[in-house]
Structure 1
Amino acid sequence: MLSLYDFIEARERLGTVAVKTKLIHSSVFSKESGNDVYIKPENLQRTGSFKLRGAYNKIAKLSKEEKSHGVIASSAGNHAQGVALAAQRLGTKAVIVMPKPSPLIKVEATKQYGAEVVLAGEVYDEAYQKAVELQEANNYVFVHPFNDEDVIEGQGTIALEILEELPDADILLVPVGGGGLIAGVAAAAKLKNPSIKIVGVEPSGAASALAALKAHHPVMLDSVSTIADGAAVKQIGDVALKYIEEYVDEIVTVSDYELMEAFLMVAEKHKIVGENAGLLSVAGLKKLKEKGKKVVSILSGGNIDVLTIASMITKGLIVRGRIFTFSVNLPDKPGQLVNVSRILAEQNANVIKLEHNQFKNLDRFHEVELRVTVETNGEEHIQRITEALNKEGYSILRDNSNEVHEYESAE
């Protein structure tokens, strides 16, 4: 097992390449969670995620002969960029195998760092198998994204930075995908301060860490389904699991809905763009039972394409009650649409979409359906709008499920 001295050495090794990301205090998340919340913005790290730390640490420790062979890695994107930049800095060839659905922004960024990119498989685990084949055929050095102690050692430097800046931190919330980040952070943090609590946060649709802890060995999930593509790992690493069992206090899961909400709040309140997997620890703040504690959420990455940002903002607005869609059946006579518009105006609801459909109902000569989407200030505002419409004799049906389900299918 790694020692505190190993993590300190890794931090020195990373001194010239890794950015020391400063903690950001969050008044909004502090208020919502009942704790004193800080964000560790590793999305501001070089390459846009924490992955550079582990990749550079691994490659920097290779011998000259090993570096001459080149390195290979499999990755959904962030580890790819970390390995590519580290290899470029250290003067060795890098080949990266990425799943075919990887976001284009991550594929292009990896190429820009000088790496050769091979697209294979639908998820990380399939890309990993292809990378193993290429490694054996070409004698490359494999740089695993999470199941390697040198990589874990590099990731753990995050904990040293946090505890140097906030030595009395009570709880660290850490995203969980393959387990390398939480393994390193948990070990370094506990070795530095044994009383600190470590909570891992993974997607409910890819809960490989929970499955492994229950079985006491890595378990291959039948499938994964999550918008957190960077954490869509079917099986956690056995090396990482050893550290998780030793140092992690709790693993919680969050839904895609909760990730959408976290994305919106981080973007709107802190002007920070986080990717879905990177936001796991922020979404996990709601799962804490503790109150009044100093909590640090590690926002692990920010590599997300613009189209996904647009979708996340829209769905986040729906989840937070900032966009309200409803249907109402109106008598088919003049003045009804004007009356509904008047009520919405009086309630300061900004109409952004309206559909007046005479053909929705079979009894169309007596009733028509009006479907309205308005911008609101949240659930309390929605309640006031609903009550105002009800008072005027309109019975409405709230509708937000279609938008969310359509979004999940698209992802």
Structure 2
Amino acid sequence: MSPARPPSPPRRKPARKATAQAPAMLPPGSSYLQRILNARVYEVARETSLDAAPKLSRRLGNKVWLKREDEQDVFSFKLRGAYNKMAHLSPEQRAAGVICASAGNHAQGVALSARKLGCRAVIVMPVTTPQVKIDAVRGHGGEVVLFGESFTDAFGHAKELERDQGLTFVHPFDDPDVIAGQGTIAMELLRQHPGPIDAIFVAIGGGGLISGVAAYVKALRPEIKVIGVQTTDSDAMLRSVKAGKRVTLNDVGLFADGTAVKLVGEETFRITRELVDDFIVVDTDAVCAAIKDVFEDTRSILEPSGAMSVAAAKQYVARTGAKGQSLVAITCGANMNFDRLRFVAERAEVGEQREALFAVTIPEARGSFKRFCELLGPRSVTEFNYRIADDKVAHIFVGVAISKPDEAAKLARTFTKAGFQTLDLTNDDLAKEHIRHMVGGRSDLARNERLYRFVFPERPGALMRFLSSMHPDWNISLFHYRNQGADYGRILVGIQVPKGDAGALRDFLDGLNYPYEDESHNPVYRLFLG
């Protein structure tokens, strides 16, 4: 769940009055509206669709639209601003080549634009950039230089190379031509949706996208709210607006790497401060849930930065109680690393408030485990981790699927009322990121333990059937289960069986009719658990 939203900056001057003045970096008599209308983006970019999100709209009670910039050939809006800037360079500048600093999406835009225009492109990228983006840049013919851990680090190195090699720097956001290129998104959006729009949600890194969108929208439709979105660990623009000057962050989060900017642009700060109506801050879990929301409506997978606008739209509805409004989220990128999907899937359930996590203490006595499971009733267990460690009490890490946000608290009260000490871990980052994977280890109390790995159908009642079939004199000393979304679940179970019960154990295993493997002599078990 997202943290409490920081106080918003005061509302700015009316948009029409603000955009009537010439921006500081533009020549007299010019305006962003003119630049956007005349931007040369369609020589390489495509007009992306404005798609309805029916499932999300029904859930939120509002009409939600997605402006699909993830449909571009480089899977990001960045192509627009990069090409518009480079198309306006002189033939001499293009012949000398260009250079940029980027976490990935702007880099792909510059590389593809350079290929279209027939010029050299050097791309400086942070070493933390996802490999999928590095490979994509090289695939477009860009010369990749990896340097630093953030955009700011890469930017400084790129400026050095610019001077040393006589290249022209293509800024990812703080340039009028780049801003104008991104503003064509708003031009398309208003043409595609001529009816009422209540709010447009825009992710902010350095501010180029929101500056272009706000400049166009506030010039033509000032009644539409333009709402900027940042993550809790990369909120340089919000801090700058609140401080009245640009603020440099010491560190930035890298999950939403496309918006991981320590210092926003001078021109983008000026425009954003003047024209943007409000800001919303979202956390990692909310972004993961938004990725899932978009997938369910479109079968497309956004990168974290691309889903920030959707997460903010959800938070806006929850905060304001909006009903029946038309909300537009700009889905600005889809350069997702495949190996991040498991993390996204795990955190989406918590971000969507569909999974509750608990640490529950029960008596270390036969039947306690089963009695606890009976309290769960028909609810789906998403995770169950336990290792015997004490001869008096047992500590269980359990995940449960929920349908309403307040259900976690109700479940905690149910466990406590039954005499089980309970700690709600649903909002605990340590538990979600580390502890859930570390429950276990050796135990001096695991005498006569046999270790079995079972495969059983993922359907209601399968877990209770397993527990009900066990002999009442046997004790479970280890239990590990995690719902992986497959048709069949897999559990690892340690059972303490008296030596004289070998026959009863065989009858139990055969009677379950679940495939299983005896792992009691597995060397990995002996090294880490036995």
Same-fold status (TM-score > 0.5): yes
Listed as ranges, the gaps of 5+ residues in structure 1 are none
Give aligned-pair identity as a percent.
36
Q: Deviations over 1:86-130 (max 9, x none)?
A: 111111111000011111111111111110000011110010000
1-structure distance, mates of 2:412, 2:247: 47
Q: Residues of 1 paired with 2:35 and 2:132: CA distance? A: 34
Who is 1:333 aligned against?
Answer: 365
Residue range with higher mean Cα deviation, 105-114 or 255-264: 255-264
SS of corresponding position for 1:48: coil
Amino acid at match of 1:229: D
1:67 equivalenced with 2:104 (yes/no):
no
Match of 1:6 among 29, 35, 43: 35
Compare CA radii of gyration and give the structure with the larger one.
2
Q: Secondary structure at the match of 1:18?
A: coil
Which whole-Å deviations, capped at 9, do the CAs of 1:166-213 have from their partners, x for residues lacking one?
A: 123232111111010011111112223233221111123222212322
Task: Kindly indicate whether the alpha-carbon contact (under 8 Å) linking 1:175 and 1:182 is maintained by their aligned counterparts in 2.
Answer: yes
Take 2:263 and 2:383, find their aligned partners in 1: how far apart are those partners? Answer: 44
**Equivalent residues in 2 for 1:208-357 (5 A)?**
208-225=236-253, 227-285=255-313, 286-287=315-316, 289=320, 291=322, 292-344=324-376, 346-350=377-381, 352-355=383-386, 357=387
Letter in 1 for 2:153: E
Structure 1 equivalent of residue 181 of structure 2:
154
Asked whether the equivalents of residues 379 and 401 of structure 2 are also in contact (C-alpha less than 8 Å), the reply is no
| C-alpha contact 1:203 1:226 (8 A) present in aligned 2 | no
Question: Do 1:226 and 1:256's aligned partners in 2 also have CA atoms closer than 8 Å?
Answer: no
> Is the CA contact 2:362–2:421 (under 8 Å) kept in the aligned structure 1?
no
Give the 3 Å change call, closer, same or farther, for CA 319–245 of structure 1 in structure 2.
closer
Equivalences for 1:159-198 in 2 at 5 Å? 159-167=186-194, 168-198=196-226
| 8 Å contact kept, 2:287–2:308 | yes
Q: Decide which moves more: 284-293 or 199-208.
A: 284-293
CA displacement 1:346-405 (0-9 Å, x = unmatched): 3232354332x331x4xx2x3333333344445466567556655654443333423435
Given the alignment, which residue of 162, 165, 174 partners 1:135? Answer: 162
For 1:241 and 1:390, the matched residues in 2 are separated by: 51
1:106 corresponds, among 133, 144, 150, to 133
Q: Contact 1:352–1:375 (CA<8 Å) still a contact in 2?
A: no
SS of the counterpart of 1:261? helix
8 Å contact kept, 1:120–1:126:
yes
Pair 1:93–1:216, CA change in 2 (3 A): same
Structure 2 counterpart of 1:398, from 424, 437, 440:
424
**What residue number does 2:47 align with?**
20
Output the CA distance in 2 between the equivalents of 1:323 and 1:95. Answer: 45
In structure 2, do the counterparts of structure 1 residues 358 and 75 end up closer, same or farther at CA, with 3 Å as the change threshold?
same
Letter in 2 for 1:117: V
d(CA) in 1 for partners of 2:332, 2:235 = 18
SS in 1 for 2:197: coil
Task: Output the CA distance in 1 between the equivalents of 2:299 and 2:281.
Answer: 25
User: Counterparts of 1:32 and 1:284 in 2: how far apart (Å)?
Assistant: 15
Matched AA of 1:6: R
Q: Secondary structure at the match of 1:206?
A: coil
State TM-score, norm by structure 1.
0.89
Give CA deviations for 1:232-282 in whole Å, capped at 9, x if unaligned: 111110111222233222223222332233223223344231111222211
Structure of higher RCO (CA pairs closer than 8 Å, 6+ residues apart): 1
Q: What are the Cα deviations for residues 24-46 of structure 1, in whole angstroms up to 9, with x where unaligned?
A: 22234434555322111211211
Greater shift, 307-316 or 371-380, is seen at: 371-380
Matching residue of 1:76: 103
382-391 vs 52-61, which deviates more?
382-391
- 1:230 to partner: Cα distance: 1.2
User: SS of the counterpart of 1:156?
Assistant: helix
Which stretch shows the higher mean deviation, 232-241 or 113-122? Answer: 232-241
* 1:371 equivalent in structure 2: 397
Q: 2: CA distance between counterparts of 1:325 and 1:194? A: 44
- Contact map agreement 1:354 1:373 (CA 8 A) in 2: no
Unaligned runs of 5+ in 2: 1-22, 24-30, 436-530
Structure 1, 152-161 or 331-340: larger mean CA deviation? 331-340
CA contact (8 A) 1:228 1:276 kept: yes
Q: How many residues align?
A: 399
- Quote how far apart the aligned CAs of 1:321 are: 3.6
Q: Provide the C-alpha distance between the structure 2 equivalents of 1:212 and 1:64, rounded to a whole number of angstroms.
A: 37
Verify the 8 A CA contact 1:74 1:97 in the aligned structure 2. Answer: yes
Aligned to 1:47, the other structure's residue is in SS state coil
Contact 1:3 1:191 in 2 (8 A): no
Aligned-residue RMSD, C-alpha = 2.4
CA distance in 2, matches of 1:98, 1:393: 55
Deviations for 1:134-157, whole angstroms, at most 9, x for unmatched residues?
011111111000001111110000
- Kept in 1, the 8 Å contact 2:55–2:296? The answer is no
1:49-97 superposed Cα distances (whole Å, 9 cap, x missing partner) = 1000101111112221111001100001100011011111111111000
Distance 1:84 1:37, change over 3 A: same
Match of residue 204, structure 1, among 232, 244, 252: 232
| Structure-2 separation of matches of 1:27 and 1:115 | 39
2: CA distance, partners of 1:108 / 1:194: 41
- Alignment CA distance shift 1:349-1:143 (3 Å): same
